[in-house]
Structure 1
């Protein structure tokens, strides 16, 4: 089993079918909070929907095109973080993440994004890590900003959120820049 320890409190483990109930519980209890920025909440109404997501995630892992992990904080699943896409041709890893609202404010997501960035460069030999967030999602944008990612631009109306489009801020970090930071 893949377990990537980031520090004494935070680690990542590959999503597994036995995570479905906990993952759905977190999704359901943070539904209103998460719905502001994530487009998939209305399609996740049951544990079975979460199982379907896990199956999809496992197929992405098997195809080596993505990697979905559960965020463990003090041993408990508190959210998810992924390489939503692994572009091997261009050596770019695209990170996505969400965290249960009850665990916000502990620096968890910044540590997770740092851990995934380290993994992308050190283990996957990627050249670039990309993190995107809705322009108005200041909490999510704060993660790459705290890690020194460069704001590369804004993509207009890139995501449909239930009844409106949102623009995405695109952040990037190159392997050569990351190694200079460490």
Structure 2
């Protein structure tokens, strides 16, 4: 099975529709922690909706327009990373993340994001990696900063979630800024 080690007891692996039951159990643990920031977290509330979320990303992977990966720590799904969109024609992609409390504080999200960035730039030839987050999500902002992204700007009151309109920060990293790319 394809797996990328992130730490001694953690790995990044594809997250697929056949894993819907495990994904749902994880989302039940993660929901209170992720739902304020990720609207789709509230949509995976039963086995059918969890499977539909995973199938949506399987379809995106088949079309080469997005991908979803889980982070397992000590054999338990504790978070994940994804290419929310992946546009090879324009050379732009967006990375998103989520975690439950058991996945925090171990550097797993940052390591996984670095892996996706490296894949996008060095293997797929993308030009721009984007990161969007609520201005209220300090943990998300910290990941963007740790991987070297620059803040492009803030879209005021951009998206509603849970009865509140969030300002959205737009972060980016360009291929010439990433070590290991031909342009760097």
**Alignment-derived partner of residue 161 in structure 1:** 161
CA contact (8 A) 1:3 1:12 kept: yes
| Cα RMSD for the two superposed structures | 1.9
Secondary structure of the 2:179 match is helix
Cα deviation code 1:41-60 (max 9, x no counterpart): 33222021100111111110
Q: TM-score, normalised by structure 1?
A: 0.91
CA contact (8 A) 1:39 1:160 kept: no
**Alignment-derived partner of residue 36 in structure 1:** 36
Is the alpha carbon distance of 1:120 and 1:7 closer, same or farther for their aligned partners in structure 2, counting shifts above 3 Å?
farther
For residues 8 and 91 of structure 1, the distance between their equivalents in structure 2, rounded to whole angstroms, comes to 33
* Structure 1 residues 57-76: aligned runs within 5 Å: 57-76=57-76
Q: How far is 1:130 from its partner? A: 0.7
* Structure 2: runs of 5 or more not aligned: none
For residues 52 and 42 of structure 1, the distance between their equivalents in structure 2, rounded to whole angstroms, comes to 13
Is the alpha carbon distance of 1:76 and 1:19 closer, same or farther for their aligned partners in structure 2, counting shifts above 3 Å?
same
Secondary structure of the 1:152 match is strand
CA contact (8 A) 1:23 1:79 kept: no
**Alignment-derived partner of residue 17 in structure 2:** 17
Q: How far is 1:172 from its partner? A: 0.7
Cα deviation code 1:25-75 (max 9, x no counterpart): 111122222122121233222021100111111110111110111112344
Q: TM-score, normalised by structure 2?
A: 0.90
Consecutive aligned runs of 4 or more in structure 1 exceeding 6 Å deviation: none
* Structure 1 residues 18-167: aligned runs within 5 Å: 18-167=18-167
Q: How far is 1:158 from its partner? A: 2.2
Cα deviation code 1:136-170 (max 9, x no counterpart): 10011100101111111111222221212101111
Cα deviation code 1:14-34 (max 9, x no counterpart): 222232111111111222221
